[in-house]
Structure 1
């Protein structure tokens, strides 16, 4: 459940010519700066802030030494938000044959200017899980194909580089055992995050799926069976997306739109174009916690890796990849939430990290 994200002055976006399984970039060595990243694989698009690291040649995770964990500051857990403080972000109903394009917001653009005859500004805001009607230059949006814009092939790797917000994202496709502990911790700290769920996981864990939605977390699509999308034709990709959406609706009455993370972080131009047209914005990551690759990791390793690599302004807009099936992730989560709270960094959903 790995994916990759390019930092951008607003969002990291790439035009993929023929990418394989996305490698893990090290985006934590310098504070974000306006620059065009030059990956070692075929580029996807320009319009990204942040210093440009050299990507490793393969998707093999780099080994990391686990240093002694420095003490983390404690923070008073926030009370659980009330229902009114946790709005339900459900995309507005759209036509079943609606097709979409991806667009990077330019300075001065408004929802009214971007709307086409097929979707109103309010529908575009609801569909993209916007928390306000204010747009940020550089933020990615999904728009109806009739919108007056030039279609782009986007892959999001970072949110707003100017806001102290971090998206901890949790992919689910294997074990569900640590998930109740993860949800308990998030509830105790009053934090909502984004869960990328497979259809099979939801079908096997309907009560947990309903709990995720009931507690205000953001649901996103991670395919039905977790295949490498590069090996599928267009029809098979669409069935993976649509079947997962149907299961989410049937089990929890919730939608997985508008975010999708490709299984294994594997994508190419065709994959991105297909999922965008189907109404999903491809989400990669800024930092892979490595909780699902290589040798088993300890909670101490995860805390040290994430807090060290997301020091200072590197935390701004970062999207962190973690997994629901990882017990070390469940054990590390309280310390991570306390650490970021003590720094004044909000841990939140992908949709909020992408916004102004």
Structure 2
């Protein structure tokens, strides 16, 4: 697969020109920020904009643009977790059985344990690396996160969806770490894809945002209705910022992925590093499947140091690393994930490669490693 193939290029072109193709003379190329709780609504309420909680022109603009990349109907939300919640609430029924990665984003598991299990939802947790071959009989929903966050394990989306559908289960893929440019879950058979667009898609670390995409009209109608009834709506300014960031996604990803590959090679050969996880390394456990289903191995690297103190010193001492949680921004960032309770070693660092000049970034990190 390639990020520069004809199909991908066509989707990028459609995304970039989606708004331009629908506006008239004198209208702005950038979408307006419509701060509206009320719309004029005389007579029957049969209008796309009856009330601010139902819809907003800015939502439609960003949904159309993301939808061009997903090649699917898209619904936006005020955060990635809002998108996750909507997808779960629209597809789970009381007493449903859900297969969930035990090593995926931990907040999804907390949400299920704290709130959704009260509806007699049965959850089974297994590692992402075991998902591909796990028996799927009697499951109603299979939740996939690949590459997983933070461990960067990968599972075979096409193989899982084929078996899940044969068993009568739906499949939802959290595609946050890849974006629709690096991985195409819907094309591989998934029923829905969800994303925290707070990360790479918006990309500037200045907005919380998320989306759900799918090609089943009935499921998407339920998700849209959930947003309306639950009030899980993004702000107009947030929609604008997400749209603005989306316009440079391809350019940013190209630099981020190039930087990640260069840094992974550096970490792999450096004596200060005990282990490296990156799907672009030929001997990584995720390499084979990632090479088959991803256009690029991504921009997130797992780096293990001898202990927590060494990991923290690496993050603190490097002038090219912004110490923060989250990932996918312009600046390279990193954090020691065990501090959140993830099942990783104390010295495990999740590093998100940014858009810095590659040679300068590699030198700054190499100098820091040499000084540990």
Task: Using structure 1 for the length normalisation, give the TM-score.
Answer: 0.26
Task: Using structure 2 for the length normalisation, give the TM-score.
Answer: 0.25
The structure carrying a bigger helix percent of its residues is 2
Which of 1 and 2 has greater Rg? Answer: 2
More relative contact order in 1 or in 2 (CA 8 Å, sep 6+)?
1
